[in-house]
Each structure stands twice: as structure tokens, then as C-alpha cells.
Amino acid sequence: MPPQLQSQNQSGLRILQGDLSALSPAVKEFVEANVNLCQPDSLHICDGSDEENRAILTQLEEQGMIKKLNKYENCWLARTDPRDVARVESKTVIVTREQRDTVPTPLGGGVSQLGRWMSPEEFDKDMAQRFPGCMKGRTMYVIPFSMGPVGSPLSKIGVELTDSPYVVASMRVMTRMGKSVLSALGTGEFVRCLHSVGCPLPLKKPLVNNWPCNPEQTLIAHIPDRRQIVSFGSGYGGNSLLGKKCFALRIASRIAKEEGWLAEHMLILGVTNPAGEKKYMAAAFPSACGKTNLAMLCPTLPGWKVECVGDDIAWMKFDDQGNLRAINPENGFFGVAPGTSAKTNPNAMETIIKNTVFTNVAETSDGGVYWEGMDQSLPEGVTITSWKNKPWSPKDGEPCAHPNSRFCTPAGQCPIIDPLWESPEGVPIEAIIFGGRRPEGVPLVYEAFSWQHGVFVGAAMRSEATAAAEHKGKVIMHDPFAMRPFFGYNFGQYLSHWLSMADRPGAKLPKIFHVNWFRKSPTAGFLWPGFGDNIRVLDWMFRRINGEAGAMPSAVGYLPCSDSLNLQGLKENVDLNELFSLDQEFWQKEVEDVRKYFTTQVNDDLPNEVARQLELLQHRVKQM
């Protein structure tokens, strides 16, 4: 339908597009209440059309928020205010009546590392300080979006209200968005998402890089009981694209607990062996551990094929036959750019050359993008402008792209997207893989002894820290299930929920594995070549699921028997002894570190079974 330009509703609000009265009563009430609160000048109800998208991108370009990248088809570059470049864990909260519904009470009353709680009273006060009049002079966009294929029984719907056209353009890539979602919603339930950059017009101070944000007042709050997300002050994706971590993990994990399914920070891939047999696997890694690279793996073993269902989030539910079915609730990839190259991830490089919004990467003078680890030499005479919008050369001693710079690109463009990636019933998961970046002590792969042991392995996950949040430097951090920043409720209850899956009648529980591509030798760098050669580990898992590959019990789990990993054609010499060695002293310390973490952080909420698995590990390590 042509936009109803300048129609007015009773309150004098200009309606730029859409019909307020055509919305369901609940959506209309949600919109009107927040129009009254935020006081935008105008309202735009998004329909998700190509015309709308072109108009939004043109508007962003005119405002100087994005720049066209002429080297590619319909690609754009945004540079943010340098104070608004990542998720802000310190300002991301869950609002519940009781603190213990959000986080376990740490031993001795310290600060929880498993989430931040805010009381409803404090939240109401913070809302009242921030939102009244926050959209003055701006347009409020109404974005109806579906997490998961529209109409799938595993999908959920949200409505995001935002004053950022950058969010509209990005949500169109990352979710299914627009008219079809409103039709599917009818008068059903939806998650209420409110976002503002927190910069009413006229501005009080000039913008940096034409990027509106209000870092001093940033707040990202989740109210699970009300199925509500409220975000203020940040335009950065993880804080403003509320379908992503906020809905798909924090709110969804709480809904999943209530409804008996799992919302997880996991990639999903399909692996087909040379005989044409296919299995789907899900894998949880903290950021900077090669999640997107594994999801888009180019196998080095002949005859194997890997296809990508998703690179970040999995929603998984047992079906009536007892199969664990998974969907990728997202519609795009919001990937970290640095380190992505034709060597590390050729499929991602092919995905991002059209219809992509890049944020905080460097720009080349011939209208292209550039970042650390891209490993492409520039043509003669081509210069680089850094993410800070300054001329850059390698001598500058700082990166040309922000370490957390991103590409936001449609998943359907991935050359190896799985044929069933939008299947409404999801794909059957036969293996769950946990992993982290562990330079020492942890073998390349091991298999959990049981579902319960696998839940313990997920709970005990640790990894070298990353740039995706505000943490600095390289320290080994606990990141249980790669969900530490994303739990929507008490982690102890989350563990109990995972354990309860074993009690489902007829459930075909996936095998659980742990991998570590990042073990180093004291003298010579990484012990395992990684990347495409990781298919050799997936091959072993594949055969383990079929009961074909040899394994031997160890203190930590089942390790591959000698000769059971297929190393044919491996270009580098690999020291398997060192790669799989288990050092008793290292694992004694690991047991103690995990025990300390469980005792101080999970405390009284640690399920008995997880505590028992730790005791069993300690016992096995003692006997090494």
C-alpha cells in the first residue's frame, strides 16, 4: 500500500506509514502508550517491503549515519560514536520481584557474575528518568518481527518500537519483519520491545559520527514476567536489535523454561558424510572461538559436506517422536568482521558482498571494506580510512577496524545455507558441542559419559576472554554454556532445566562433546590446524553417534582411540600425544577452579547432580 503520508491521528501525531487502527488491540495499546510516553513527532508502521528498505537506507545516508560502499551491491558502512561499540554488560539487567529469580545468591553476598538483577522499583525509577519525551523531534518506527520462520510452531513474535532507522534497516536483515508478521500474530501473544537512542531533538550536544547515543544513560532491561524489553541510550546492535540476544536468549530462555524447551547461544550445522548420510549438530562457543567459522566450515576431507542452519542462536524442542528439533530464530548473521577472511571463512566472505550493513570496519578508497585478518593485499594506490574516520596505515600501532566491528548480512545469501534452514518443524539435533579457547591442558575433543556429565561439561566451560563485551585482556573466564551474559533466569535453575530433559519419556538425547581447537605447544603455536580440518573431529563425532568410532575412557570423558581420527591428507604434522595429553596437575587445578566458581557463584542453587559430577571428575583425576 502507498504510505499514507501525513495522515494524523486524534492526538495530532503524524502517521507517515501504516494504519494504527488496523493493529490488533494489544499492539495498538502498546504503541499508543509509548507514543504518549516518548512523544515522537511521527509514527511509521513498518511493512518490511523493498521500497520501505530503500527509503530507510536513503534517509540514513542523507543523515550521514551510513555511507554507500560502491565496490559492492547495496552495501553500507556505519561508524558509531566510539563510546557505543559493544554490548554493555554492566548496564544490562533482568527485572524480577525476587533477586534469586534472576541470579543465584553468591557466597558471602558478593556480586554475581551470572547476570545483573534490578528491582521493579528501581526499574520504574530509571524508566521515569529516561523515557518521557525521549523521542521528541524523531519518528517512532513500529517493527513487527518474527523470531523463526513466520508461522512455525517453534517461532515467537515481537514488536519493537524504536527511534533509530539504523535499527529498522538491521532488523529487516536479522529477523522476518513487516506485514506478514502482523497477519501471523493476529490477536496472539508478543514480546514488547521498546528502544530509544536517548537523543531527543533539538540536540543538547553535537553528535560524533552523526551517531545518536546517550552512553551515560544506557540501560538494557528485561522484564520476563511481562515479556518486555526496554533499551535506552545505545544504538549498537547487541543493545538495540532487541530480537537478538535480548529476546532470542534472555527472554526466550525464560519462556523455554516455562514451556519445556531450550533457547541457547548455539550455532546449528548439517554434516553429510561421503555416503550421503546427514546429521545436524548444535555447538556453543563463547565469542572469538570461531563459531561462525565452524557454522560455515569448508571441509578438507573429500566427500564431506557442511551446511549452515545458523551461526549464533538455537531454539530446541523435543517433538512427539522424542527428537530434539532446532530452529535458527534469526534471519541474518551479525558476525564479527576482524579475522574473517578467504582463508578462515570463504563462505562468510561470499555472503557479505551484497545487501550488508557493516559497522565500525575500515573503508578502502575504492569503496570497499577492510579489517584486521582479512589477509588481502590492497591494489596499488588504494588507501584505508579507519573506523574512527581517519587516514590509517599499519604503522599507526592501532587496529583499522574496531575489534568488535560487525557485518549484518542476510542468512539466505550464504552459499552453503542448509536447504532446511527455514523448515517450520526444525532440524533433528544428534550432537551438542561445547567448546572454548583453552591454550593449555584441554584436549582437542572428548565425549561426555552421559547427559548428566554433558550438562556438567557445559556448566564448567571456560575460555580466554573476548572483545564482544567490555572485558579487556586475555584471562581465562568462566562462561557456562557460552551463556554467561545471556541467562534470562537463575543459572542454577537453568542447570536443573537442562538435567530435566533426561526425564522426558521417549527423549532421544543427543550425545554431548567438548572441543578445543586452540591448544598451544609451549614452543610452536597451535597444535591443531583448525578451520577446514575441524571436519576430522566432526567425522569422529558422526561415527560415535552411529556407534562406529573407537573411544577410550579418560578422566575427562571418552577420547578418540588411536587411529580413530581420520588424519588422511592432513598437510601439517600433528602431535596427537600432546594434543590429547591430560596433565594431572592441570586437571586438579581445573577441578578446584570449577569448584570455587560453583561454590561462590551458584552456591545453594547448584543442582546436586552437577555437584556429584564434579566429585566424580575429581575422583577420576586423582586416579590418573
Amino acid at 520: K
Query: What are phi and psi for residue 586, nearest 5 degrees?
Result: -60, -45
Which grid coordinates belong to 253?
530462555
Distance, in Å, from the CA atom of 585 to the CA atom of 592, rounded to the nearest integer, reads 11
CB 214 within 8 A of CB 197: yes
User: How many Cα neighbours within 13 Å face the side chain of 545?
Assistant: 23
Distance, in Å, from the CA atom of 477 to the CA atom of 469, rounded to the nearest integer, reads 13
Handedness of CA 202, 206, 209, 214 (dihedral sign): negative
Number of DSSP helices (H) and strands (E) in the chain, helices first: 16, 35
CB 329 within 8 A of CB 248: yes
Q: Are strands 314-318 and 324-327 parallel, antiparallel or unpaired?
A: antiparallel
- Centroid of chain to Cα 579: 29
Distance, in Å, from the CA atom of 91 to the CA atom of 80, rounded to the nearest integer, reads 19
Query: What are phi and psi for residue 427, nearest 5 degrees?
Result: -110, 150
What phi-psi label fits residue 282: left (phi over 0), alpha (psi between -120 and 50 degrees) or beta? beta
Q: How many CB atoms lie within 10 A of CB 273?
A: 17
Q: Mark whether 400 is an active-site residue.
A: no
- The DSSP code sequence of 396-422 is GSS-SS-TT-EEEEEGGG-TTB-TTTT
Cα–Cα distances (Å) from 37 to 217, 225, 386, 479, in that order, read 17, 21, 39, 38
Q: Residue 173: which residues within 8 A CB-CB, separation 6 or more? A: 331, 332, 355, 356, 357, 408, 409, 410
DSSP class of residue 552?
A: E
CB 336 within 8 A of CB 288: yes
Catalytic residue among 289, 308, 400, 414: 289
**Residues 296/297/298/303 CA torsion (nearest 10 deg):** -110
DSSP class of residue 206?
A: P
Residue 622 host element (H or E): helix 608-622
Handedness of CA 130, 131, 134, 136 (dihedral sign): negative
Residue 319 host element (H or E): none
Which grid coordinates belong to 358?
557493516
Amino acid at 241: L
Which grid coordinates belong to 292?
561462525
Nearest CA to 334 out of 230, 239, 220 is that of 239
Active-site annotation, residues:
289
